[in-house]
């Protein structure tokens, strides 16, 4: 599918999707969205661009390989589990802190948010990995 | 006693520790252990004779009533002496006999462990403990019989013996548990106390019969007798031990143990006397037509076991006395004769009497012992066997129930035994020398010492029976009868019915022997006759049953596990529909409050679109159309979620649907077109099943909607989502905070699935 | 008790590590160390049950029934310890019996995700969470069974996958209905509500759905097709893992659910269990006796043994439930062990097919002993573990007056004996067939390869010798199951919403 | 409306089971998708559906009565994602199987039984 329109469109749509995804991730705790939706959206964006060009190219343009995303996601999830044990005596307990960021105001950050980020990365990795494998181009290192 | 059993257990492992030159000393050492045990029991005779009972209890699983109850009373000491005493001789004999074979360590290990198990069995004061040892003897004898395991016949015989005795054991334990549930204990002494209750209980008959099955299989009673002749595949020392003092005597021990508890009823008496009498006659009848001398001996063992069962079945003081005496009689002569048979086998290389003859000249001492043992077997004076037989006749004559039939069978059986004994002597030892001793055996004495001692014991006790009678048989009898009883044994009883019966039997036996001896053709014809009349051999029946069962199961398995994947699914959904409809039917009390309405129409329209695209996807022949309509249905469901205010759900559903569609399209290019593979009837059938399941689910859904809602959990979540978890989107808060563990598992599923896809598609086929 | 979560998180960390580690030596080492840690933790947890009998952990500090609780009672504790012992043994075994291809394929990732799922299923006190763990188990086993990509494995994999997917679909549907009825997912809370509720309208239909779901997982009679179609195709290490853990999770959940929730209309369910148990035993046993491939014999035999466990559930007395638990533990150990040994037989002789092999008794007496331990344990020879397992069940059956099922159980024991003796006779006692192509190559297994089997064999023996202790635990577990007030109270912590 | 939805569930289940019983593996997978959709829907509606406000709260609206129940939504979301993972794997398995054997016919799968 090397249609020019699609290629041009994909460039924008792709970034649009990624931005959407990040917003979904960030706002997920308060508005529709969250790690799953965000991760799936990013995956969709990469798939979209590879439909426009080809999968190999889309893959090369990735900064982190799918398995990297998976590992990153699992690690983040694991890290989000720990603070609860040490600070609240329960696994997975939410630990919150608020920080003040200029222009955005007070933001509450907590381990559930970290957990959501982990899910986000893991889902990206999973989507990409299965997609690339289906596209039959993936090589292990 | 526990120390003793422990010593046995530890000593059993010695064959593996002894190495090099010490290896030869193993049997001596083990015989010595047996001797030590024998001496130990012997030293206790007096105390036991005075009515003492030695008891040791080690709890094992007390909650289930399973304990190690070691009891030494008159009954168990009699058996223990027999086991250890014979054990000494068997191991000495084995030293000579087994020399030329390999894997001796394993052999002695099995054999010694076997004797330990047997000893444990007779010392058991708890029936489950007894069963444990019972099973151990079964399994160990399996290993012993299959010792020459490269012979198929040995494997088969071992399998048969294990299968029958194992089966009997399991059935017996069911009986024990059944009766145990009446008493609430498995301890023999508790059973004795509650004997009256047991005999009156409705479980008595079934429990008794179950236990009898165990006893009959173990003690080779008709119709389970056929494994015993097969068991001669074992090395001869094993046979002589198995047939005389151990294994088959376990059943007898069990009967003796239970007779004060369960005995005395007509069920007990009739079953045992009948079975015993048939077995007794049949064993003797078949013994005479055998050609292998070990087989002859095996059949006479069956006959003797029949006698023992019969006597315990008659269940009078006299008959039990006869049984206890005959136990010793049989053990002495049977062990001796088996050892002699093994010796002959070693010397001449054959066990077929048709190839043997005139051995008296080359093995005179053996001949003397053989004569003594055979006379004892035939029940002729002055041997112990004569005493035994007299007592048996006496018991039979006085037996209260079916004396005439028992007597007829008894006389016939005994006459046959006399004939067999004489025949054995004359054919093998006298007459023309057919087969000279070919094989030189270095240590003749080691072969003869065992049978020699046993044969001399038979003679000695025949002449001076008082010791045996008063110190061993009497305590045993007392512990069986549970009352005092004075045992006096005499060789000469005077002219009475029994004496004339004996005389008649001897006369009959001699005639039989004479006929068989002088005319070879008689036995040949007899054998042919037997083969024609009793064309059904039990071994074959067993094998055929087994074979039939196996092919039956193979067919059934192929029927169930046929390999047609669709039918597996079909079965599952069929079962599910039946279940669900049944449950719907049972819980019919449901009333629909919901009114059928199509409002709002746009939702109804959406549902209609989903339904139509689903059906289209079902029947379409085009792959693309199928997949696209499937997608439409998926998106439609997402919109439904949206309508019912599940925003996150709708978004997820849409993205997931898209991803699945993309992947479908990706692999679709490589796949073949749909082919219409199934016929119209198949499709109709499938549709019917699908419909029955689908409609059941519809009903379930309707019912579930109808239930009152009460959601304490989600109310809590809604209330605390913002205040405690700092999130406005409750669904997301649930996912990452309230129920984060679910999400953790979910991510794991995704990761594993992705890696699985990768592994599956990356690797080449192997 | 935060440690309760460790049996789930330790494998989770190991998954992460195994994704990252590419060196197979290092992976082996880490897997052995990790599973040792897992075993120690499980043992510690089990021992710390002593005081309170039930331990709970509310994940994320959300009180039950609002969050997810992990619950450790004696039943789950026993299963957990047994499972982690098996995992430990297998992580050693796989070093020697996994070919390199599989190892490169990140076998350990799937191995530990399976472990994680199994531990999670044992520990969780939340019905939906249980579903998630079931899915973790499911997807891991899908991957494991197809690892190697042979045609046979793909075939077996498709059947396995299809039927198990249907099973989890039933599970989810049943959960939905249950939630709709009760509004809660916490198992203790569910039990509390269902015991109080009067209208069993939906409970029975969800019970039917759950029965289908777990019946498929546990390979009960009309639903077991996936097991014999797939188990024998996978690598022997994988089959051993499956034999030890998978169907038993199904049995665990069946026992858990039908003692905790579905106490209404019990007569119907218990009778059904007895009927199904009988058929499962006999059909499995018959099929096992008619085969000549070790793995197939043993696979069918798994089914037959599941029948005993369900029989215990069907009799439904404390003794019977204790017997079922005892049997499950015994079976997990002995069954895994016998698969391990059959793997070694295959390694030594080059075939699983009994007609092609023989003469092992002479070649490797150690292997013979290692085979005899689990085989005799399975056949129920005293004093090994299987004897007590069967004894308790038969005793319970007789005392409850269920004579028919006891008769079936005894007949099945004979079938088991036949299958075991068949393998013994053919593989060990018989002379190796001369015409066979795989002969005469024979590789003597080294000690480290035998170690897992030695450990499991010793476990079978010790379980028999110290049956009193183990039975004591199972009895406590059974009482906890049958009278779940303590369970409900401990989990809900006195809370009564 | 609930009745209509219940019928929809029935149709989806029927379609799913019917597709599972076909011989083509592809249809089989489509059947799985239908089944999981049907199950999700069942879970969703059996816990009570309200066409109204989605479950968003802030400090001021703590009255749960007119909000839709968020818990089944979360459950179904989890189920959808899990289903996604499994369907993807099934597709891969199907593809590999076809690549290895060259057939899409489930009736050819008889080697591993008996």
Kindly determine whether residue C132 and residue B746, on different chains, have CB atoms separated by under 8 Å.
yes
Kindly determine whether residue A93 and residue C61, on different chains, have CB atoms separated by under 8 Å.
yes
Among the partner residues C135, C152, C175, nearest to D112 by beta-carbon distance: C152
What pLDDT score was predicted for residue A138? 45
Kindly determine whether residue D91 and residue A133, on different chains, have CB atoms separated by under 8 Å.
no
Domain holding D93, by residue range, is 2-51+66-108
What pLDDT score was predicted for residue D64? 58
Lowest mean per-residue pLDDT among A106-110, C273-277, C471-475: A106-110
Among the partner residues B630, B641, B743, nearest to D30 by beta-carbon distance: B630
CA atoms within 13 A on the CB side of D42: 34
Whether B765 has a pLDDT exceeding 50, the answer reads: no
More confident position, C97 or D76: D76
Tell me the angle at which helices C403-423 and B152-183 cross, rounded to the nearest 10 degrees. Answer: 150
What pLDDT score was predicted for residue D36? 92
In chain C, positions 198-217, which contact chain D (CB-CB < 8 Å)?
A: none
What pLDDT score was predicted for residue A139? 44
> What percent of chain C has pLDDT above 90?
43
Partner B contacted by C163 (CB < 8 A): yes
Partner D contacted by C286 (CB < 8 A): no
pLDDT digits (tens, 9 = 90+) for B303-343: 999 989 988 888 888 888 888 888 888 888 888 989 988 88
What pLDDT score was predicted for residue C46? 93
Whether C132 has a pLDDT exceeding 60, the answer reads: yes
Residues C119-128, mean pLDDT to the nearest whole number: 93
CA atoms within 13 A on the CB side of D75: 32
- Predicted confidence band of residue B107 (pLDDT cuts 50, 70, 90): confident
DSSP string, B391-425: HHHHHHHH-SSSHHHHHHHHHHHHHHHHHHHHHHH
Chain C residues close to A66, C-beta within 8 Å? none
d(CA B512, CA B474) in angstroms, rounded, equals 36
Interface B-D: count of C-beta contacts within 8 A: 301
What pLDDT score was predicted for residue D66? 67
Which one, of B275, B669, B583, B81, lies nearest residue C208 by Cα? B583
Calculate the CA dihedral of residues B264, B267, B268, B272 and round it to 10 degrees. 140
Among the partner residues A30, A31, A36, nearest to D77 by beta-carbon distance: A36
List CB contacts of B550: < 8 A, sequence separation 6 or more. C289, C290
Burial of B151-168, coded b for 16+ CB within 10 Å and e otherwise, reads eeebbbbbbbbbbbbbbb
Kindly determine whether residue C60 and residue A90, on different chains, have CB atoms separated by under 8 Å.
yes
Among the partner residues B584, B749, B759, nearest to C135 by beta-carbon distance: B749
What pLDDT score was predicted for residue C146? 87
Chain B residues close to A58, C-beta within 8 Å? none
Return the H-helix or E-strand segment holding B761: helix B740-762
More confident position, B29 or B15: B29
- Domain assignment present for D114: no
Whether C438 has a pLDDT exceeding 70, the answer reads: no
d(CA A60, CA A82) in angstroms, rounded, equals 35
pLDDT digits (tens, 9 = 90+) for B368-394: 888 888 888 888 877 888 888 888 888
Whether C87 has a pLDDT exceeding 60, the answer reads: yes
Angstrom CA distances, B41 to B31, B37, B116, B119, B472, stand at 15, 6, 14, 11, 11
DSSP string, chain A: ---HHHHHHHHHHHHHHHHHHHHHHHHTTTSS--HHHHHHHHHHHHHHHHHHS-HHHHHHT-SS-HHHHHHHHHHHHHHHHHHHHHHHSSTT---EEEEEETTTEEEEEEHHHHHHHHHHHHHHHHHHHHHHHHTT-----
- Predicted confidence band of residue C199 (pLDDT cuts 50, 70, 90): low
Kindly determine whether residue B566 and residue D12, on different chains, have CB atoms separated by under 8 Å.
no
Best probe of the D interface among A66, A73, A130, A132, by most D CBs < 10 A, is: A130
Whether C404 has a pLDDT exceeding 60, the answer reads: yes
Chain C residues close to D34, C-beta within 8 Å? none
Q: What is the CATH number of the domain that holds D17?
A: 1.10.287.3510
Q: Domain count for chain D, please give it.
A: 1
- Predicted confidence band of residue C357 (pLDDT cuts 50, 70, 90): confident
Among the partner residues D62, D68, D81, nearest to B750 by beta-carbon distance: D81
Chain A residues close to B762, C-beta within 8 Å? 133, 138-140
Kindly determine whether residue B754 and residue D88, on different chains, have CB atoms separated by under 8 Å.
yes
Q: Where are the domains of chain C?
A: 265-465
- Domain assignment present for D97: yes
Among the partner residues A74, A89, A94, nearest to C2 by beta-carbon distance: A89
What pLDDT score was predicted for residue C135? 94
Kindly determine whether residue A71 and residue C5, on different chains, have CB atoms separated by under 8 Å.
no
Whether D112 has a pLDDT exceeding 80, the answer reads: no
Q: Residue C143 CA to chain centroid, in angstroms?
A: 18
Q: Where are the domains of chain A?
A: 4-134
- Domain assignment present for D60: no
Kindly determine whether residue A94 and residue B725, on different chains, have CB atoms separated by under 8 Å.
yes
- Predicted confidence band of residue A97 (pLDDT cuts 50, 70, 90): confident
d(CA B51, CA A6) in angstroms, rounded, equals 106
List CB contacts of B515: < 8 A, sequence separation 6 or more. B522
In chain C, positions 16-55, which contact chain A (CB-CB < 8 Å)?
A: 16, 19-20, 22
- Domain assignment present for D56: no
What pLDDT score was predicted for residue B503? 85
- Domain assignment present for D34: yes
Which one, of B626, B697, B702, lies nearest residue B668 by Cα? B626
> What percent of chain B has pLDDT above 70?
92
pLDDT digits (tens, 9 = 90+) for D6-45: 899 999 999 999 998 888 888 888 999 999 999 999 998 8
Q: What's chain C's average pLDDT? A: 87
What pLDDT score was predicted for residue B591? 58
Kindly determine whether residue A134 and residue D85, on different chains, have CB atoms separated by under 8 Å.
no
B64: DSSP letter: G
Residues B530-535, mean pLDDT to the nearest whole number: 68
Return the H-helix or E-strand segment holding C492: helix C485-492
What pLDDT score was predicted for residue A66? 84
Best probe of the B interface among D20, D21, D35, D82, by most B CBs < 10 A, is: D21
CB contact at 8 A, C229 and D110: no
The alpha-carbon gap from B591 to the nearest alpha carbon of chain A, in Å, equals 37
- Predicted confidence band of residue B706 (pLDDT cuts 50, 70, 90): low
d(CA C322, CA C315) in angstroms, rounded, equals 11
Q: Where are the domains of chain B?
A: 151-545, 562-591+678-708, 598-672, 721-766
Partner B contacted by A43 (CB < 8 A): yes
Chain C residues close to A74, C-beta within 8 Å? 12, 15-16, 19
Residue of C nearest to B712 (CA): C183
Residue of A nearest to C4 (CA): A91
Whether C202 has a pLDDT exceeding 80, the answer reads: no
Q: What's chain B's average pLDDT? A: 84
Whether B61 has a pLDDT exceeding 70, the answer reads: yes
> What percent of chain B has pLDDT above 90?
15
CB contact at 8 A, B231 and B299: no
- Domain assignment present for D80: yes
What pLDDT score was predicted for residue A140? 39
Return the H-helix or E-strand segment holding B85: helix B74-97
- Domain assignment present for D113: no
């Amino acid at each position: 599918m090397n249609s020019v329109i699609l290629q041009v469109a994909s460039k924008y749509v792709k970034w649009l999707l990624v931005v959407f995804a990040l917003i979904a991730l960030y706002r997920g705790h308060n508005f529709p969205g969250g790690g799953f939706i965000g991760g799936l959206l990013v995956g969709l964006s990469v798939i979209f661009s590879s439909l426009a060009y080809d999968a190999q190219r889309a893959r090369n343009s990735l900064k982190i390989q799918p398995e990297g995303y998976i590992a990153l996601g699992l690690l983040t999830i694991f890290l989000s589990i720990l603070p609860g044990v040490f600070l609240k005596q329960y696994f997975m307990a939410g630990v919150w802190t608020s920080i003040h960021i200029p222009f955005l105001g007070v933001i509450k950050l907590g381990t559930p948010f970290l957990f959501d980020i982990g899910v986000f990365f893991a889902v990206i990795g999973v989507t990409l990995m299965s997609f690339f494998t289906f596209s039959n181009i993936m090589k292990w290192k | 006693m526990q120390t003793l059993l422990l010593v046995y257990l530890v000593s059993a492992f010695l064959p593996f520790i002894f190495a090099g030159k010490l290896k030869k000393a193993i049997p001596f050492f083990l015989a010595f252990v047996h001797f030590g045990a024998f001496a130990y029991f012997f030293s206790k005779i007096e105390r036991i004779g005075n009515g003492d009972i030695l008891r040791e209890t080690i709890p094992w699983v007390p909650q289930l009533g399973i304990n190690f109850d070691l009891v030494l009373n008159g009954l168990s000491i009699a058996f223990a002496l027999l086991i250890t005493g014979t054990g000494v001789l068997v191991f000495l004999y084995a030293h000579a006999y087994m020399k030329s074979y390999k894997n001796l360590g394993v052999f002695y290990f099995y054999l010694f462990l076997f004797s330990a198990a047997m000893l444990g069995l007779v010392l058991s004061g708890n029936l489950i403990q007894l069963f444990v040892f019972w099973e151990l003897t079964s399994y160990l004898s399996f290993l012993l019989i299959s010792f020459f395991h490269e012979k198929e016949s040995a494997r088969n015989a071992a399998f048969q013996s294990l299968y029958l005795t194992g089966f009997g054991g399991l059935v017996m334990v069911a009986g024990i548990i059944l009766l145990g549930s009446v008493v609430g204990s498995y301890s023999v002494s508790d059973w004795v106390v509650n004997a009256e209750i047991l005999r009156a209980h409705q479980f008595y008959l079934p429990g008794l019969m179950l236990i009898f099955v165990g006893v009959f299989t173990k003690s080779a009673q008709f119709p389970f007798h056929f494994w015993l002749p097969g068991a001669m595949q074992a090395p001869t020392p094993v046979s002589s031990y198995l047939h005389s003092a151990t294994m088959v005597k376990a059943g007898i021990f069990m009967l003796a143990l239970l007779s004060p508890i369960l005995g005395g009823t007509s069920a007990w008496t009739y079953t045992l006397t009948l079975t015993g009498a048939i077995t007794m006659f049949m064993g003797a009848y078949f013994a005479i037509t055998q050609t292998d001398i070990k087989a002859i001996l095996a059949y006479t063992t069956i006959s003797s076991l029949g006698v023992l069962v019969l006597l315990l079945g008659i269940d009078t003081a006299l008959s039990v006395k006869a049984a206890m005496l005959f136990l010793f009689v049989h053990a002495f002569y049977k062990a001796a004769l088996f050892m002699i048979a093994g010796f002959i086998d070693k010397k001449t290389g054959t066990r077929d009497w048709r190839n043997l003859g005139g051995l008296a000249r080359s093995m005179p001492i053996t001949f003397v012992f053989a004569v003594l043992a055979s006379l004892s077997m035939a029940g002729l004076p002055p041997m112990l066997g004569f005493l035994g037989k007299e007592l048996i006749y006496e018991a039979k004559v006085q037996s209260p129930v079916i004396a005439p039939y028992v007597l007829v069978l008894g006389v016939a059986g005994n006459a046959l035994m006399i004939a067999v004994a004489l025949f054995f002597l004359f054919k093998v030892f006298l007459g023309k020398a057919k087969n000279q001793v070919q094989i030189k055996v270095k240590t003749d004495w080691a072969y003869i010492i065992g049978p020699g001692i046993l044969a001399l014991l038979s003679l000695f006790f025949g002449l001076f029976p008082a010791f045996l009678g008063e110190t061993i048989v009497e305590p045993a009898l007392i512990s069986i009868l549970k009352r005092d009883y004075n045992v006096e044994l005499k060789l000469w009883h005077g002219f009475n019915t029994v004496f004339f019966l004996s005389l008649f039997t001897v006369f009959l036996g001699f005639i039989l022997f004479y006929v068989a001896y002088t005319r070879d053709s008689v036995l040949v014809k007899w054998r042919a006759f037997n083969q024609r009349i009793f064309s059904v051999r039990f071994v074959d029946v067993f094998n055929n049953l087994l074979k039939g069962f196996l092919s039956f199961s193979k067919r059934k398995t192929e029927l169930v596990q046929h390999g047609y994947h669709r039918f597996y699914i079909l079965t599952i959904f069929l079962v599910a529909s039946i279940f669900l409809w049944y449950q719907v039917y049972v819980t019919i009390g449901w009333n629909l409050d919901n009114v059928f309405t199509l409002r709002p129409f746009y939702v109804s329209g959406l549902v209609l679109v989903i339904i139509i695209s689903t059906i289209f996807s079902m029947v379409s022949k085009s792959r693309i159309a199928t997949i696209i309509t499937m997608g439409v249905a998926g998106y439609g469901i997402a919109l439904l979620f949206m309508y019912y205010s599940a925003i996150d759900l709708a978004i997820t559903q849409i993205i997931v649907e898209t991803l699945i569609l993309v992947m479908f399209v990706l692999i679709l290019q490589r796949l073949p077109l749909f082919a219409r593979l199934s016929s119209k009837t198949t499709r109709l059938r499938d549709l019917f099943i699908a419909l029955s399941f689908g409609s059941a689910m519809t009903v379930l859904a309707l019912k579930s909607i109808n239930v009152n809602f009460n959601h304490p959990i989600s109310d809590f979540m809604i209330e605390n989502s913002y205040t405690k978890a700092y999130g406005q989107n409750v669904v997301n808060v649930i996912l990452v905070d309230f129920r984060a563990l679910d999400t953790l598992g979910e991510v794991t599923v995704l990761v594993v699935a992705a890696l699985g896809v990768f592994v599956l598609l990356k690797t080449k086929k192997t | 008790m935060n440690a309760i979560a460790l049996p789930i998180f330790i494998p989770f960390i190991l998954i992460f590590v195994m994704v990252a580690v590419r060196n197979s030596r290092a992976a082996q080492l880490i897997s052995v160390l990790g599973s040792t840690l897992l075993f120690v933790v499980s043992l510690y947890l089990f021992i710390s049950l002593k005081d309170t009998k039930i331990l709970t952990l509310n994940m994320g500090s959300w009180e039950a029934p609002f969050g997810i609780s992990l619950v450790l009672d004696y039943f789950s504790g026993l299963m957990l310890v047994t499972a982690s012992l098996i995992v430990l043994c297998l992580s050693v075994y796989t070093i020697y019996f996994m070919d390199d291809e599989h190892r490169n394929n990140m076998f350990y990732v799937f191995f530990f995700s399976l472990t994680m799922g199994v531990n999670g299923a044992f520990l969780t006190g939340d019905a939906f969470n249980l579903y998630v763990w079931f899915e973790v188990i499911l997807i891991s086993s899908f991957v494991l069974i197809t690892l190697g990509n042979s045609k046979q494995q793909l075939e077996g994999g498709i059947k396995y996958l299809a039927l198990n997917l249907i099973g989890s679909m039933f599970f989810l549907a049943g959960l939905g209905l249950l939630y709709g009825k009760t509004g809660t997912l916490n198992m203790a809370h569910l039990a509390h509500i269902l015991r109080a509720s009067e209208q069993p309208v939906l409970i029975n239909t969800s019970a039917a759905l759950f029965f289908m779901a777990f019946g498929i997982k546990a390979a009960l009679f009309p639903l077991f097709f996936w097991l014999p179609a797939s188990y024998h195709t996978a690598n022997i290490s994988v089959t051993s893992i499956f034999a030890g853990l998978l169907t038993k999770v199904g049995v665990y959940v069946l026992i858990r659910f039908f003692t905790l929730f579905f106490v209404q209309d019990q007569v119907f369910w218990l009778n059904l269990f007895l009927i199904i148990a009988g058929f499962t035993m006999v059909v499995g046993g018959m099929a096992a006796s008619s085969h000549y491939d070790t793995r197939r014999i043993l696979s069918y035999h798994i089914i037959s043994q599941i029948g005993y466990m369900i029989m215990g559930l069907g009799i439904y007395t404390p003794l019977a439930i204790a017997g079922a638990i005892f049997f499950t533990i015994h079976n997990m150990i002995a069954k895994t062990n016998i698969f391990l040994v059959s793997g070694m037989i295959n390694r030594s002789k080059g075939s699983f097919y009994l007609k092609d092999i023989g003469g092992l008794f002479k070649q490797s007496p150690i292997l013979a002993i290692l085979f005899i331990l689990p085989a005799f344990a399975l056949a129920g020879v005293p004093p090994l573990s299987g004897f007590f397992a069967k004894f308790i069940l038969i005793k319970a059956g007789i005392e409850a007056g269920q004579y028919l099922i006891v008769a079936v159980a005894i007949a099945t024991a004979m079938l088991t004996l036949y299958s075991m003796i068949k393998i013994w006779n053919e593989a060990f006692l018989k002379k190796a067939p001369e015409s066979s192509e795989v002969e005469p190559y024979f590789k003597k297994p080294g000690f480290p390869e035998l170690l897992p089997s030695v450990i499991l064999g010793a476990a079978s023996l010790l379980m028999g010798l110290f049956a009193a202790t183990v039975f004591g635990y199972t009895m406590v577990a059974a009482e906890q199951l049958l009278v779940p007030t303590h369970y409900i109270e401990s989990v809900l912590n006195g809370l009564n919403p | 409306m609930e009745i209509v939805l219940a019928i929809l569930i029935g149709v989806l289940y029927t379609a799913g089971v019917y597709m599972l019983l076909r011989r083509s593996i592809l249809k089989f997978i489509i059947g799985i998708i239908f089944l999981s959709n049907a199950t999700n829907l069942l879970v969703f509606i059996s816990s009570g559906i309200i066409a109204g406000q989605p479950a968003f709260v802030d400090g001021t609206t703590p009255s749960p009565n007119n909000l839709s129940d968020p818990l089944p939504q979360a459950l179904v979301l989890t189920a959808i994602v899990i289903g996604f993972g499994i369907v993807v794997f099934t597709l891969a398995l199907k593809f590999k199987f076809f690549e290895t054997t060259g057939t899409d016919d489930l009736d050819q799968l008889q080697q591993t039984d008996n």
